[in-house]
Amino acid sequence: MVTFLCNFHYFKLLKMNKKGIVILLAAIFCTISAMAQGRKGLVFNEVMVQNDSNCMDAYGKRHAWIELFNSTRASMQISNVYVTNDKNVPTKYGVPRGDHNTKLGPLQHVLFFADNDPGKGTFHLSFDLTPGVDNHIYLFDADGKTLIDEVVVPASLPANCSFALKHDGVSGDKDDDNVKFHPECWEVRDGALLGYITPGECNKVESTNSSVEKFRANDPNGFVLTLMAMGIVFSALILLSICFYFFGKLNEKKANRKKAAAIAQHAPNTTSVKGDSGEEIAAIAMALYEHLNAHDKEDTILTINKVKKAYSPWSSKIYTLRETPNLKTW
């Protein structure tokens, strides 16, 4: 019984947290996929075997160097990968832990010096490269068995020239079981006519804006650019006019609604009045008839109308006062 209740409670919690579990599983899957994609996205990008006049390390010395590139859109920690020039010894140099510079951002480069002196720091390998021979370089994952990338630098590479990918991170098709070197994706660069040497930077450097150059060639006088600018300006003005018109209409409707609500709020409360009965209407009609019609000729009815006169004998004082006696004087 107790086991049944525990199982029931477990399944109830599982049902309640179903959404959370799905989100957790999706996050774990995405993390694993990103890690796997990140390992595949770490590639050799450029190599120089004989460095007599190129970049120097932090100690002011020139050595052969190898450039790695994070071709993914996510950050990557490379402190657990191995770089070697001997496929039979895959763990020849392991990138040490604890250095924050081993975390590569998206599409970021990092430079390793092949000087056979790892005591100088994290980015100094435990082997060197030999001019005049084919140099095989391999990149292994943290298990020391999974090959991530490889490159074969030809023996014909001149001094102070680099062997670089034509496009950053594009080293040919790869799959989990077959990592091969594709020489057609690489080229020799001499820093001048054959291309720029870019340690720690993007391999493809554009000195001019091709789009601007094409536009300038197609429109040397600038007429098209002028029409485009005018079209953009007038289009913006028309759009603003339409917006102002509709906003004005909306505000007008809003003001009318407020005005109607205010009038309705202050209007007297008129209720429907019942119609008068027939008796009341008859009594009112009779009263009006009696009031509006004179009836002097009718029997037993006396109508006294007020007569307005300036003189009336009834109010004359000559009939109420004694005559003033005439006094004779002797």
Separation of alpha carbons 171 and 41, rounded Å: 10
Backbone torsions φ then ψ of 24, nearest 5 degrees: -65, -45
Separation of alpha carbons 165 and 138, rounded Å: 16
Q: What does the DSSP assignment read for 240-259?
A: HHHHHHHHHHHHHHHHHHHH
Range of weakest confidence among 4-18, 41-55, 88-102, 168-182:
4-18
Which are the contacts of 102, defined by CB distance < 8 A and separation ≥ 6?
77, 78, 79, 95, 96, 110, 122
Residue identified by tokens 């390998």 is 125
Structure confidence by residue, pLDDT tens digits, 232-272:
999 999 999 999 999 999 999 999 888 888 888 876 665 54
- Domain edges within the chain: 8-40, 42-205, 208-246
Size of the chain, expressed as the number of residues it contains: 330
**What SS3 class is residue 222?**
coil
Range of weakest confidence among 10-14, 308-312, 325-329:
10-14
pTM above 0.75, yes or no: no
Backbone torsions φ then ψ of 214, nearest 5 degrees: -65, -40
Instruction: Report the pLDDT value the prediction gives residue 3, as an integer from 0 to 100.
Output: 46
Mean pLDDT of the chain: 81
Arithmetic mean of pLDDT, 57-77: 94
Strands 162-165 and 103-104: unpaired
Separation of alpha carbons 79 and 298, rounded Å: 132
**What SS3 class is residue 171?**
coil
Answer whether 165's CB lies under 8 Å from 172's CB. no
